[in-house]
Amino acid sequence: MPEKKRKILVTSALPYANGPLHLGHLVEYIQTDIWVRFQKMRGHECYYVCADDTHGTPVMLRAQQEGITPEQLIARMGAEHQRDFADFGIGFDNYYSTHSDENREIVTEIYRRLSKAGHISRRTIKQAYDPVKNMFLPDRFIKGTCPRCNTPDQYGDSCENCGATYSPTELKNPVSALSGVPPVEKDSEHFFFKLGDFKDFLRMWLFPREHKNDRDIHVQAEVANKLDEWFDAGLKDWDISRDAPYFGFEIPDAPGKYFYVWLDAPVGYMASFKNLCAKQGLRFDDFWGQDSHAELYHFIGKDILYFHTRFWPAMLEGAGFRKPTSVFAHGFLTVNGTKMSKSRGTFITARSYLNHLAPPASSPSVSAENWARKRSTRNCCKKPGTPRKRSRRPTKTAITPRRCA
Ligand SMILES: [Zn+2]
């Protein structure tokens, strides 16, 4: 009997616009692409959308370094990413940008709804400030000596030698990674999303079996275990604002305050789909409305689970949108047992692979000589740097966000 035609919306994580795609990224897009093609071949109405993730301090600083505007940087990176995706045969139905009118509109609407429902609070916090660059510093832009093991040159949030996590104020001899001068503490009013308001909802959404519901399973069992640990640690308010200078969307009625990039990034899924709706005459609410019967699947790496299984469903619930049907998390492509990483230089870019390693489409047989030549060309790709000495972190902290600003 033919299966009922399903409406399915699929996303992959949004690649960040401050660097090229590498093979670690492609692990995700290729598996998502295969899954989407399978659904389409079965005759279902299935859309695959994605976008460049464009906001935040790293993009702003990189543009400054290159002497161009953030808009110029993200336009160039967006074109490079799309070229790489096309040459790998990834079949998006729409590829867009988080720096778009659609995204600004939806983020603003979500914020207004959350605010109206009392899920946003404000309070003044102390934060590290670079007195030379005149800007607040994200944790990753502060370096110093580990307060526990005294290893120098560690980031402001964790030690790569002993695995300790701490706040930047605990670092010994802290300096700004931007100017090299010691940061000063400065007060600033920040906006918070009250995640604790969604404790019961999240518990029900993540652990349906506790409520004798074996049908609505949204995450893999291993993921649910991890999330249970995070629940035990408590649902703290989430800081969703950043001070100028910042590349992003300004918060309505709050001059000089911007939405933290992680607030607008997942909304980029909705914005990219909205853009597709305009092109193809689809109805946005059929897929994102509270009562939508369509299926929504997010493919992500395990490093961004925290955002996709806590903040994201809570934001959607609070703002009156539907929640994901499932979040599929995968592991990392590893080099010598460690994650293939841009920041550590242990990666092969998508373009290097295409230029030097991709099998020629026209000649499926590979001669030994050809193979040896291919192997030798690996040396002309970016050579993996020597990773900094790093101890394995305890499991409890092994899953960390991949971007911090
Ligand atoms: Zn340490």
Distance, in Å, from the CA atom of 205 to the CA atom of 221, rounded to the nearest integer, reads 13
Give the span between the Cα atoms of 219 and 105, in whole angstroms. Answer: 29
Buried b (16+ CB within 10 A) or exposed e, 22-54: bbbbbbbbeebbebbeebbeeebebbbbbbbbb
Question: Does the pLDDT of residue 150 top 90, yes or no?
Answer: yes
- Before 245, cis peptide (omega within 30)? yes
Q: Distance, CA 223 to ligand 1 centroid (Å)?
A: 28
| DSSP secondary structure letter of residue 197 | G
For residue 65, the tally of other CB atoms under 10 A from its CB is: 9
User: What phi and psi, each to the nearest 5 degrees, are found at residue 330?
Assistant: -120, 165
User: Residue 217 Cα, ligand 1 centroid: separation in angstroms?
Assistant: 39
Read off the pLDDT of each residue in 242-258 and give the average, rounded to a whole number: 96
pLDDT of residue 2: 62
Q: How far is the CA of 171 from the centre of ligand 1 (A)?
A: 10
Could you tell me which residue, 81 or 373, shows the higher pLDDT?
81
Q: What is the pLDDT of residues 19-52, one digit of tens each?
A: 999 998 999 999 999 999 999 999 999 999 999 9
Residue of 390 and 258 predicted with greater confidence: 258
The 3-state DSSP composition of the chain as helix, strand, coil percent (nearest 5) reads 40, 20, 40
Distance 180 CA to ligand 1 centre (A): 21
Distance (Å) from CA 279 to ligand 1 centroid: 52
- Write down the pLDDT at residue 1: 56
pLDDT band, very low/low/confident/very high, at 168 (cuts 50, 70, 90): confident
Task: Say if residue 396's pLDDT is above 70.
Answer: no
Q: How far is the CA of 239 from the centre of ligand 1 (A)?
A: 26
Give 152 Cα–ligand 1 centroid separation in angstroms.
Answer: 8
High-pLDDT (> 70) share of the chain, %:
88
Q: At a CB cut-off of 8 Å and minimum separation 6, what does 364 contact?
A: none
**Residue 377 pLDDT > 50:** no
Which pLDDT tens digit goes with each residue over 286-341?
999 999 999 999 999 988 988 999 999 999 999 999 999 999 999 888 888 877 77
pLDDT at 61 over 60: yes
In this structure, which residues have their CB less than 5 angstroms from ion ligand 1? Answer: 146, 148-149, 151, 159, 161-162, 164
Q: What is the pLDDT of residues 8-23, one digit of tens each?
A: 999 999 999 999 999 9
Task: Give the lowest-confidence range in 191-205, 362-376, 381-395.
Answer: 381-395
Whole-angstrom distance between the N-terminal and C-terminal Cα of the chain?
A: 51
Cα 351 to ligand 1 centroid, rounded to whole Å: 36
Question: Ligand 1 centroid to 389 CA: how many Å?
Answer: 11
CA 160 to ligand 1 centroid distance, Å: 7
Q: SS3 for 159?
A: coil
Centre of ligand 1 to C-alpha 341, Å, is: 21
Indicate whether 358 pLDDT > 50: yes
